[in-house]
Amino acid sequence: MRVTESVILGIYLVVVTGVGVYFYRRARSSASEYYTAGHSINTFVGAFAVFAAVASSSSLMGAVGSGVELGLPYFFTYAFGAVAILPFAILLVAGQLRKAGVKTMPDFFRQRFGTSVQLVAAVIVVLAMTFYMVPQLTASGLIGSYVLGIDYPVAVIVLGLGFTLYAALGGMWAITYTDLIQGGIMIVGMVLLAGTILIAHGGLGNVLDDALAVSPEFGQVTQPWMSYFGLFVAFLWFGIISPSVVMRNFASRSVFVARRSSMWGAVLYLVLFLSGAVIAMAGTSMDVVDSLDNADLVLVVVIEQYLPALLGGLVLAGLLAAIMSSADAMLLAVSAGVAHDIYKGHLRPHAKERVVTGLGLVVMVLASAIGIYFALDPPQLIAVMVGWVGGFLLSSFGFPMVLGLWWRGATTAGALSGMVGGAVIFVVLIVGGWLPTNAEPIIAAPVSLLLIVVVSLLTGPTTSRQRELVDHYHAVEEESVGAAGPTR
């Protein structure tokens, strides 16, 4: 057991749990407070929140581990797609979704296309976000077992229940303000580690040369082109199709704040990946990946090699922050999908607010338990698992979401066929294993696009209400910090 690092991680867990307890009463007061923090988050807090929601364990442990294992070109493919997430979201959906005035992604599909599309979307959200818990819990288990000296399964269970506690108690309020803390820790920790590495090696050129001297393949393309392209596309769209990220738009104070938060979040994410590239080089130069049970542990080994215990504990807290800041957002998305979109939206429309939020709390615990079960024997590298989720969500939601916001001719039948068809094709390709890793959305997403366009043209025209909604999403509004949300 590493005592100093363990103490720092312990303090960190106590602090974030305290935030959840602090916001418990406010969050449980209504579904709006629980799922969107009352649409009141400002730019500074929102920037760190959206950055932290995107920057999962995959962005730190997964990116570095896959970079060392699969080469620097793979790392930069991941990085370019990931850094472009938020600018791409600003361009296509951020402002329009905030104008919709909804609480969740399936709620938007209900508003634009009707309850049938909302129900299918909610089921997809629950399935995807529950599986997305697996790489986060895998990372928490790796860190916990390494730092605390306990068995991997025990670490998965203890840390998994830890971040479930504060997310379930405080909803979006707790998640957003813990993300502010977690995002700051991530940035400071990774920049600190990268700076230490550069000083130790005498500059960027030297650390790269040291890596290539140990592994010439580090600078080479090691995977089929479809793997790179599929990974890039899946991450490029992540800010549009990930419910855990999209919900940050709903929490923003205004359209202007939603867009500006995403812009600054992208800057933070760029800094994170520049630091990650340096760390991947250092990890390769150490030539330790073959001795590890899991390549994703490379980052932890680099921390131990280059930093003293106190600073190492800070950076490890940053890793845990990356895990928790994404996992809590996923839990909230699953909670909203079941409690708000399925239970209140279809089963009990007149359910009381506290019943809905209480059910959401229970759903979080159950989703966490399912994720823990699968994380006990994870199926792949963290980055690959996250790529699967991104590809599945892109194939399901990508074009129904964008065309729903931008095309007045998108019909309910078109959205439903595009959503279901893309999801089914993606799953069939995964099960069949005919394509290189992460290449599935290259086929599944265009199928979804083709279905929504063709079926919409065959089943049109849309209703006047649907056309008015699209016009409303693009209406010119006063985008001040204090702007009110759109009318419904």
The answer to whether the CB of 456 falls within 8 A of the CB of 409 is: yes
The answer to whether the CB of 329 falls within 8 A of the CB of 175 is: yes
Check pLDDT > 80 for residue 101.
no
Q: Between helices 72-83 and 63-70, what is the axis angle to 10°? A: 150
Note whether residue 399 is domain-resident: no
- Portion of the chain with pLDDT greater than 70, in percent: 80
Locate all alpha helices (DSSP H) within 103-242, ordered by sequence: 105-113, 115-148, 152-201, 204-214, 225-236, 238-241
Check pLDDT > 70 for residue 324.
no
Note whether residue 465 is domain-resident: no
Chain mean position to CA 397: 15
Note whether residue 437 is domain-resident: no
The answer to whether the CB of 280 falls within 8 A of the CB of 64 is: yes
CA distance 266 to 179: 15
pLDDT in tens, 255-295: 778 778 878 888 888 888 889 889 999 989 988 877 776 67
Cβ-based neighbour number of residue 205 at 10 Å: 9
Provide the domain count of the chain.
1
The answer to whether the CB of 182 falls within 8 A of the CB of 326 is: no
Q: Is 166 left (phi over 0), alpha (psi -120 to 50) or beta?
A: alpha
Q: Please spell the DSSP secondary structure of 206-232, one letter per residue.
A: HHHHHHHHH-GGGGS--S-HHHHHHHH
Of the two residues 443 and 235, the one the predictor is more confident about is: 443
- Can you tell me the mean pLDDT for 461-477? 86
pLDDT in tens, 11-66: 777 777 777 677 666 666 666 666 666 667 788 887 887 777 777 656 677 778 87
CA distance 25 to 257: 26
Note whether residue 440 is domain-resident: no
Q: How far is CA 481 from CA 89, 173, 413, in A?
A: 20, 19, 37
Note whether residue 471 is domain-resident: no
- Model confidence at 84, pLDDT cuts 50, 70, 90, reads confident
Structural domain containing residue 326: 3-381
Least confident range of 17-21, 69-73, 389-393: 17-21
Note whether residue 480 is domain-resident: no
CA distance 13 to 204: 34
Q: What is the CATH number of the domain that holds 236?
A: 1.20.1730.10
CA neighbor of 227 nearest in space, from 369, 405, 13, 73: 73
Check pLDDT > 60 for residue 477.
no
What is the predicted pLDDT for the residue at 194?
Answer: 92
3-state SS, residue 41 = strand
What is the predicted pLDDT for the residue at 478?
Answer: 44
Residue showing tokens 């019909």: 411
CA distance 186 to 409: 43
Chain mean position to CA 103: 17
The answer to whether the CB of 244 falls within 8 A of the CB of 329 is: yes
What is the predicted pLDDT for the residue at 483?
Answer: 42
Q: Please spell the DSSP secondary structure of 302-352, one letter per residue.
A: HHHHHS-HHHHHHHHHHHHHHHHHHHHHHHHHHHIIIIIIIIIIII-TT--
pLDDT in tens, 193-209: 999 999 999 999 999 99
